[in-house]
């Protein structure tokens, strides 16, 4: 596993011109960003559909780092690409990697058309983005929660684009969520102020023990809970709240997602290096779903005791190190390893 020094980071930033087609502030303020903007998607999916009356939309994306190995991260329900900040800062500074993150339709800087979305439709958004960027082979695909559902559809649609697959805190669909998830989401429906929802959402995403633990070094807060609450408040202040259209559309995509055993078998045949990760205290998606996925996909499997749903944030260092190992097992381009 390669170590990253400050000199590596500085070297990676030399002679890099940032290309942007958008005047908005990037989700992650970093010297690693090399491109950002909007891409038109949806040209070939859902035209004329009752559930997708607007034929094309624009989604926002960012490219970080200049390494030869391409990492595509897909975020989950209601969250923007900003939630990959720990992975952007780690892999965007790594000489072996280049990172693409984006806002799914319905959230952040991307358009939020009315209608019920589907994970297949959202996967086709990603296909359009990849083709726009010229990312059409040897991509390492990482999806969390709803992003993992989209990733399943993406591999089925364009298997030739991908070299490895990581599914985090996700499901093949058609299973019941934990009771706490149902009761919490029902409660959130009756809270109008988004700032009042944050405390409830944080307790759903992260285990109590982690929330009570000391905040990370450099934080002005005493506990992880105080630190993450302030982080979420700042994100809402910067990008605003999710449009109602987007919240409804994304929820519909999650509810209707289903990847049958035969389709999972196809994924197993398409991708030889697959990693499935979950936490034992996931309150949003039952960890049994990950056990099932790992068995069906013949995947490497990690179940982290005492961890919750938002593993890329909660266990950032452990998650990044595991991803790095996973990518290397599949084979990297132009490395000394």
Of 138-147, 193-202, 300-309, give the lowest mean pLDDT range: 193-202
pLDDT given for residue 3 in this prediction:
41
pLDDT above 80 for 337: no
Q: What is the pLDDT of residues 173-207, one digit of tens each?
A: 999 888 888 888 778 878 878 788 899 999 999 99
Percent of the chain, pLDDT > 90?
76
Nearest CA to 185 out of 167, 169, 205, 168 is that of: 205
Q: What are phi and psi of 60, to 5 degrees?
A: -90, 140
3-state DSSP assignment of residue 178: coil
Nearest CA to 318 out of 193, 168, 182 is that of: 168
Residues 241-257 as b/e (b if ≥16 CB within 10 A, e otherwise) read: ebbebbbbbbbbbbebb
DSSP string, 6-74: HHHHHHHHTT-PPEES--SPPSS--TTEEEEEEEEE-TTSSTT-TT--S--EEEEEEEE---SEEEEEE
pLDDT given for residue 296 in this prediction:
98
pLDDT given for residue 184 in this prediction:
86
For residue 186, CA distances in Å to 44, 194, 247 come to 35, 15, 14
Environment class of residue 17 by beta-carbon count within 10 Å: exposed (0-12), middle (13-18) or buried (19+)?
exposed
Q: How large is the average pLDDT for residues 227-254?
A: 92
pLDDT given for residue 238 in this prediction:
85
CA 276 to CA 165: how far, in whole Å?
9
Q: Which residues on adjacent β-strands are paired with residue 69?
A: 97
Q: How large is the average pLDDT for residues 311-315?
A: 98
Q: How large is the average pLDDT for residues 236-265?
A: 93
Count how many Cα atoms sit within 13 Å of the Cα of residue 140 in the half-sphere of its side chain.
Answer: 24
Q: Where are the domains of the chain?
A: 20-178+242-330
User: In terms of CATH architecture, what is 20-178+242-330?
Assistant: 3-Layer(aba) Sandwich (3.40)
CA 4 to CA 1: how far, in whole Å?
10
For residue 25, CA distances in Å to 61, 174, 229, 316, 332 come to 12, 38, 21, 24, 32
């Amino acid at each position: 596993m390669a170590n990253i020094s400050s000199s590596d980071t500085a070297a990676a930033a030399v002679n890099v011109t940032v290309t942007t087609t958008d005047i908005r502030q990037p989700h992650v303020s970093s010297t690693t960003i090399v491109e950002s903007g909007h891409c038109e998607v949806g040209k070939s999916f859902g035209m004329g559909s009752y559930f997708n009356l607007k034929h094309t939309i624009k989604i926002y994306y960012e490219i970080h780092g200049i390494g030869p190995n391409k990492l595509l991260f897909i975020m989950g329900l209601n969250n923007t690409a900003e939630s990959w900040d720990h992975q952007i800062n780690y892999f965007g500074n790594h000489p072996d990697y280049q990172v693409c993150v984006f806002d799914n339709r319905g959230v952040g800087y991307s358009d939020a058309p009315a209608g019920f979305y589907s994970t297949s439709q959202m996967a086709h958004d990603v296909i359009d983005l990849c083709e726009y960027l010229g990312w059409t082979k040897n991509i390492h695909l990482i999806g969390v929660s709803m992003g993992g559902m989209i990733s399943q559809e993406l591999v089925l649609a364009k298997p030739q684009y991908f070299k490895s697959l990581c599914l985090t805190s996700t499901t093949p669909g058609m299973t019941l969520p934990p009771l706490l998830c149902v009761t919490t989401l029902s409660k959130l429906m009756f809270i109008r102020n988004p700032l009042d929802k944050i405390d409830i959402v944080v307790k759903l995403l992260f285990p109590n023990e982690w929330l009570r633990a000391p905040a990370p070094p450099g934080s002005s807060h005493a506990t992880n809970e105080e630190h993450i609450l302030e982080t979420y408040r700042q994100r809402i202040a910067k990008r605003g709240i999710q449009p109602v259209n987007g919240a409804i559309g994304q929820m519909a995509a999650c509810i209707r997602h289903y990847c049958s055993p035969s389709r999972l078998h196809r994924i197993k045949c398409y991708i030889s290096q697959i990693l499935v990760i979950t936490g034992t205290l996931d309150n949003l998606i039952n960890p049994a779903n990950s056990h099932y996925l790992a068995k069906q996909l013949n995947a490497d499997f990690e179940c982290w005791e005492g961890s919750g749903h938002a593993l890329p944030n909660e266990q950032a260092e452990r998650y990044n190190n595991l991803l790095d190992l996973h990518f290397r097992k599949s084979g990297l381009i132009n490395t000394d390893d």
